[in-house]
Structure 1
Amino acid sequence: MANVSFDIQWREAMMELLDQMEAENPDDEGLAPKDLAEFSCIYIKYLQIFKKLEECYDQVVHPQKRLDIRKALESTIGRILEIRLWMVKLNGGNDVVQLDDILVDLKLTPDVLEIPIPRYYVEDRAKELEERAKFLEALVDKYNVKRPSDAPLTVLPPLPEDEAIRCIQVNERGRQGRERAHIMQEIRRQSAFEEKIARMGGRQVLSRDEAATRVQAAARGFISRQRTKAVTESELVFIGMKPPQRDPTNDPKSKESKNLSRRKIVQSENQAEYNKALVNLKAKVREMEGQDMRETIQDCVNTWFVENRNPESGDYPDFPDEEDGGSKIILNPPIIEEPEPAAEPAAKKGKGGKDDKKGKKEEKGGKKGKKGK
């Protein structure tokens, strides 16, 4: 499989995760899953998504993509455990949940319920496991502990004479009985052959030409049957009724296994290159911006001490506790929301009414004056 195939599989798994989230948290609460059957369907669907993500994480060679896939994979594993626990509760506390009917309804095979161990569990701890194996080997060599394969076989106590004789007699009588049965079978086969020859008129002495003709007929018949069989198989392959015979040197399964092994090598190389680039990038940032960052942090700390200094005693405060956030509060102080200004009290109705009347009278007086002029 190519990189595009795993990218498409990853995209499909993420879309299925979104569908599962919508199914578990619908807008209408009446459509939310409630009984054991509905949670069983969700559980099976999560198992399918888990297998897709696990395969993608194992075969994708891009380091940044693998980080995102791993987050989704671990979240899916956690959700599977949560749903499994809830299914046990709905099943009355019984850990064994019957999912056969659900598989039949979904038209799935039982292998869907098999939960594979994620391969990165072993790959991420490969160095640790190797060191542990070396440590155990050193302990074995140090204390001269015999390995199970090197331990001598336990010797059973000798049998009593009567019991040993009885065992030998049983084995010998069994051997003689089998030999006698084989001889009788040969005798019956020979007698049947003699009877057949007698019914055919006795043994016939063939001439040299007749014997050669019969041998040729048998050989030609065998060759013809082989040719007919080959032609029949080729016709069945041609019309698609039989799969073509696979060439062991061109086996697609072996090619796939080689391709997967090659991808793992490329994946490890890319991961090593990514880790090396991270170290180089951190060193470069520290070299180019380290001094500016140090001065910025120092200014923030000084400003915080000055702002929180006790004006009466002049003492500086202690560093914030770890429970309160530690130095994070100094560098990224929480935003304090300013209180909204209080609304101005409304004017009294009485005063407002008199002012309005005065204003109206003044307007009328002004109009009359204009008319007189």
Structure 2
Amino acid sequence: MSEQAYQRLWDSSHVTLQELLDQELPLLEPVPDRERQSFHYRLSSLYLYYLGLLRRFDTLYDQMVHPQKRRLLRRLLDGVAGRVLELKDDLVRTDLSEYHCLDHVLQDLKLTPADLEVPIPKYFLLEQSTILKERGLMLAEILSRMGPVTSETSFPEMHRTTAIILLQRAERARQGRLRATFMREIRKEEERDRKIREEGWHRFSQDQAAIIIQKVWKGYLQRKRTQHDRWTEMEFIGMLPSAHQVNLRVMYQAGLGEDIGRLRQIEKEEEFQVAMVKTHDVLRETEGPDMKEKLKEQIRQWFIECHALTGRFPDYPDESLGGSSLIFADKTPEQVKMELEVQAQESKKKNQEKNKEKENEKKERKQKKEKGRKREADTMLKTWPSKFIPVINAGHEEYINMWKNQHESIHPTQSFDPEALRVEKRKELEEEIRIQVDELMRQELKNLHLAVDREEGKPLKPLKKKAGKKTGKKKKEKDLTPDRSVESLLEELVVFGFLRKSETVTLKDYIGDFLYLGSTLNLANKLPMPSLFDIRQNVALYGVLRLGSPDIHAMAPLIRSILLVGPSGMGKKMLVKAVCTETGANLFDLSPSNLQGKYPGKMGVQMIVHMVFKVARLLQPSVIWIGNAEKNFYKRVPKEEKEMDPKRIKKDLTKALRLLSPGDRVMLIGTTDQPQLAEMKGLCRTYERILFMPRPDYASRFVLWRQMIETQGVQVTQNLDISALAKVSDGYTPGHILQAIHSVLTERRVLQLSKQPLVASEFLGHLAKLEPMYREEEESLKDWYFKTPLGKRKVKFIKDQDVEEAKLAKERKKRK
């Protein structure tokens, strides 16, 4: 795409953005609980539109070259991504579930399930490529110091005579099979000769032979034409991938164009950085002295006016309140003086109000209990105020004021706008000079006080924040390793196996299809289970988007931990690796099995948890993974695991999690397939979001079979009935399906595909050897999930709905 095409895409994106901003205000108004469906529909449509905008802004930021436009696009991209996370949080509160059925919304908006896919911004990895390379080199260096780890697999020794006997046995078996096939062919020839002797040769005339040959040949040609027409029709309606759809040359050229665009971005960014320094220096030399003198004259004039009006010189505003910028906010000296006095009085009043607030708190608690029952009957739905809407609004206004009406002919080479750069740097220079002038004028004001008023001016105390005490307590943490460097801590964690090199797995590799009948199941009062597509989407929202950007993490709803619950083989570890790959995060392993025999004692546990969280903060983004997370919260520790002492990390883990604040891109991800063994309260307090992973549905199994076979380098033909495989494999996990495919598609079988096409029956024997996920196991996991806090609320909501429907039905009968 050309720069003009990207500009048109940007213009159309802001038209959509303006429409969405107009729809934001009505969502803040409370809505009765009876209008939950319409409220949910509005939230869902907004969520889908913002996802589309996120996809567009990601493309624009990745490919546009103009450095000043890219800075604005970055703010808009982060703002829209944060708004998507806020809407997801609102959807969870409205729907009382981590998964949402949006098929009817997609249908109404004329969108496809692909539009529901969460786009991962490309700059997550591109902008920290150098950091990732340095970390890789650091890990490689530490591992090289440790020495090569030789894992020599010892094979059982065999006597020479035994080995010869085995070889002879195999050779005799091979010769026996060859002899059997040879004898079978001889018997067939003898049978054919016998029939010819008994029945004789059937002789055709020349015309009869020609007709038979024509029939065979014409039938063959017609079957080929019919097959070609059928394939063409299926490609046209989109049921089969087109042969011309995947053109490697076109894809290579597209990727090459993207790489060239990124190189141009680097060149223009370097030019812009040089121009920023030069512009700042030029403005400081040419306009700096005039700005300084002008500011001094304005502040002196303000001193004189205040003295003329009040009879004394004013107090100079503190730097925390804005300094002299408070003076030049289009206000008269009297207004500035009144504001300063009011702020001083408010600080005194707040101390008096604190005592009254404590007395009123007790009364309010009693009133809240009485009002709680009334609120349950008349619950109001509304969204929380957004932190990202002001950022998006500011970016949208900047686009309208600066870039909307500018044609590409103004910047044909996509260089920076020097006039806009001067305006921006002039504001920065004014702020720098203002701070310097404030220091000088404060001293001058003190001298005026001493000379004229004969008194020392008392500086205005900055207002104390209420939240300062609470946040201060949370941030206080004893540093158990104050004298150690990050490199030494990192090396120790690598040596003991707590910091691991994550495998490269993208989120796209977690294959699964969309839940197409979610709304239909809801209407039939059947609770739909999430699909693999929904699981992948939630991991992208909760894990990848938050950890990928510090700006998004600092303002988005804070989520410190996730728990993935599902049977073995569902790809829980794969999702953990995918989060690390997509964000470039470090992978720390605090699983109970990895802790066994390391750092014994109470102090040892405190030390390892402290070290892991300290290094995770310093080298963020970081993922702390705990496999078999239920073992940390056992109800009863099994006898065989008492030596491991899996619960010893429990207290220190919860304390360390509480200390994580917005901006600390550290996430705890736990995986478990037996959550029933754990205490519910402790597990739910530690893990803020619980994602249930049931067995895959038919659509997901169909996609799994097809794509997993194709990844082995095998082209799926009509001889292979994928639909039958998806039906038969009900109850099997993706891990089972992959295991069956690996067992069938050996190197020898792949070489035979040209002569012997792949058939569905080949996989059945290998599937039968595997143990599927039984209904009882899945039902026990579902029962456990509905005992979690969110699950309980969902069950209660469904019961209340059933009661209301029953009442309405009775009233209708009475009316009749």
- Fold match (TM-score > 0.5): yes
Q: Which has the larger radius of gyration?
A: 1
Per the alignment, residue 319 of structure 2 pairs with: 322
State the Cα RMSD in Å.
Answer: 4.7
Provide the C-alpha distance between the structure 2 equivalents of 1:41 and 1:151, rounded to a whole number of angstroms. 54
Equivalent residue for 1:113? 116
Map of 2:76 onto structure 1: 72
How far the C-alpha of 1:159 sits from its partner, in A, is 5.9
Aligned counterpart, 1:51: 55
Tell me if the contact between 2:305 and 2:333 (Cα under 8 Å) persists in the aligned partners.
no
2:268 is aligned to 270
Number of the residue aligned with 1:188: 184
State which of 250, 254, 257 in structure 2 corresponds to 1:256: 254
Q: Return the alpha-carbon distance in structure 1 between the equivalents of residues 255 and 60 of structure 2.
A: 15
Aligned pair partner of 2:64 in 51, 57, 60? 60
The offset of 1:19, in angstroms, is 2.3
- Matched letter for residue 297 of structure 2: D
Q: Is the 8 A contact 1:26 1:32 kept in 2?
A: no
Query: CA 1:319/1:136 → structure 2, altered by over 3 Å: closer, same or farther?
Result: farther
Distance 2:22 2:333 in 1: 35
1:28-75, Cα deviation, whole Å (9 max, x unpaired): x89999432332222122111211110111011111221222222222
Equivalent position of 1:22 in the other structure: 22
C-alpha distance in structure 1 between counterparts of 2:316 and 2:18, whole Å = 44
For the 8 Å contact 2:317–2:324, the answer to whether it is kept is: yes
Aligned counterpart for 1:99 among listed residues 87, 99, 102: 102
**Match of residue 300, structure 1, among 295, 298, 301:** 298
Length, aligned pairs only: 296
- Assess, with a 3 A threshold, how the Cα gap between structure 1 residues 293 and 201 changes in structure 2: closer, same or farther: farther
Change in CA separation of 1:49 and 1:308 when aligned onto 2, cut-off 3 Å: same
User: Is 2:122 aligned against 1:129?
Assistant: no
Aligned equivalents of 2:149, 2:300: Cα separation in 1: 71
**CA pair 110-313 structure 1, distance change in 2 beyond 3 A:** closer
Partners of 2:16 and 2:321 lie apart in 1 by: 40
Alignment pair present for 1:82 and 2:86: yes
Q: Give the 5 Å matches for 1:23-38.
A: 23-25=23-25, 34-38=38-42
Q: Which residue of 2 aligns with 1:208?
A: none
Specify whether residues 176 and 73 from structure 1 end up closer, same or farther in structure 2 by C-alpha distance, changes over 3 A only: farther
Matched-pair contact (CA < 8 Å) for 1:41–1:102: yes
Are the counterparts in 1 of residues 306 and 333 from structure 2 also a CA contact under 8 Å? no
Asked if the contact 2:51/2:119 (under 8 Å) is kept, the reply is no
Which amino acid letter does the alignment assign opposite residue 266 of structure 1? R
**2: CA distance, partners of 1:43 / 1:107:** 15
- Which segments of 5 or more consecutive residues in structure 2 lack a partner in the other structure? 199-219, 336-816
Deviation at 1:101, TM superposition (A): 4.3
The letter of the residue matching 1:66 is: R
Residue identity opposite 1:119 in structure 2: K
Residue identity in the other structure for 2:250? P
Report what 1:281 is aligned to: 279
Q: Give 1:6's aligned amino acid.
A: Y
- Counterpart of 1:41 in structure 2 is 45
Matched AA of 1:58: D
**How far did 1:190 drift?**
4.6
Letter in 2 for 1:97: H
Q: How does 1:345-356 map to 2 (within 5 A)?
A: none
Deviations 1:128-168 (A, max 9, x none): 33444444455556xx134xxx4211545x7699xxx9x99
Change (3 A) 1:288 1:184: same
Tell me how far 1:124 sits from its aligned partner. Answer: 2.6
Distance 1:107 1:137, change over 3 A: same
Maintained 8 Å contact 1:23/1:32: no
The residue type paired with residue 7 of structure 2 is D
- Give per-residue Cα distances to partners, 1:93-129, cap 9 Å, x unaligned: x212233444455454433222232111223333433
Cα gap change, 1:105/1:306 in structure 2, threshold over 3 Å: closer, same or farther? Answer: closer
Corresponding letter in the other structure for 2:66: H
Tell me, what secondary structure is at the counterpart of 1:251? helix
Question: Within 2, Cα distance between the matches of 1:61 and 1:286?
Answer: 29
Scaled by the length of structure 2, what TM-score is found?
Answer: 0.31
Partner SS state of residue 91, structure 2: helix
Kindly tell me: are residues 168 and 88 of structure 1, through their superposed partners in 2, closer, same or farther at Cα, counting changes over 3 Å? Answer: farther
Contact 2:306 2:334 (8 Å CA) reproduced: no
Would the aligned equivalents of 2:54 and 2:119 in 1 still touch at CA under 8 Å?
no
Cα distance change of structure 1 residues 80 and 198 upon mapping to structure 2, 3 Å threshold: same
- Relative to structure 1, is the Cα distance of residues 312 and 258 closer, same or farther in structure 2, using a 3 angstrom cutoff? closer
Cα distance between partner residues in 2 of 1:77 and 1:20 = 14
1:10 paired to 2:27: no
CA contact (8 A) 1:24 1:32 kept: no
Question: Quick one: distance in 2 between partners of 1:87 and 1:62?
Answer: 37
Name the stretch that deviates more: 30-39 or 125-134.
30-39
Asked if the contact 1:24–1:33 (Cα under 8 Å) also holds between the matched residues in 2, the reply is no
Deviation at 1:324, TM superposition (A): 2.0
Asked if the contact 1:47/1:115 (under 8 Å) is kept, the reply is: yes
The correspondence of residues 232-243 of structure 1 with structure 2, limited to 5 A, is none
CA apart distance, 1:198: 5.5
- Cα distance per residue 1:164-206 (max 9 Å; x no partner): x9x999999788767755653454345334544565579xxxx
Distance in 1, Cα, partners of 2:246 & 2:84: 42
The structure-2 alpha-carbon separation of the partners of 1:170 and 1:119, relative to structure 1 and needing over 3 Å to count, comes to farther
Q: Write the distance in 1 (CA, Å) between the matches of 2:93 and 2:289.
A: 58
Cα distance in 2 for residues equivalent to 1:170 and 1:36:
70
CA distance in 1: counterparts of 2:168 and 2:59, whole angstroms:
59
Aligned match of 1:145: 146
The residue matched to 2:319 in structure 1 has which SS? coil
With normalisation by structure 1, the TM-score equals: 0.62
Q: After superposition, give the CA deviation of every residue in 1:186-237 in whole Å (9 maximum; x if it has no partner).
A: 54345334544565579xxxxxxxxxxxxxxxxxxxxxx99xx9xxx9xx99
Moved more, 276-285 or 11-20: 11-20
Residue 312 to residue 243, structure 1, CA distance change in 2 (3 Å): closer
**Equivalent position amino acid for 2:2 in 1:** A
Provide structure 1 residue ranges, at least 5 long, that are not aligned to the other structure.
Answer: 203-224, 340-373
After superposition, the Cα gap between the structure-2 partners of 1:33 and 1:268, relative to the gap in structure 1 and judged at 3 Å, is farther
Could you say which residue in structure 2 is the equivalent of 1:210?
Answer: none
Cα distance change of structure 1 residues 43 and 245 upon mapping to structure 2, 3 Å threshold: closer
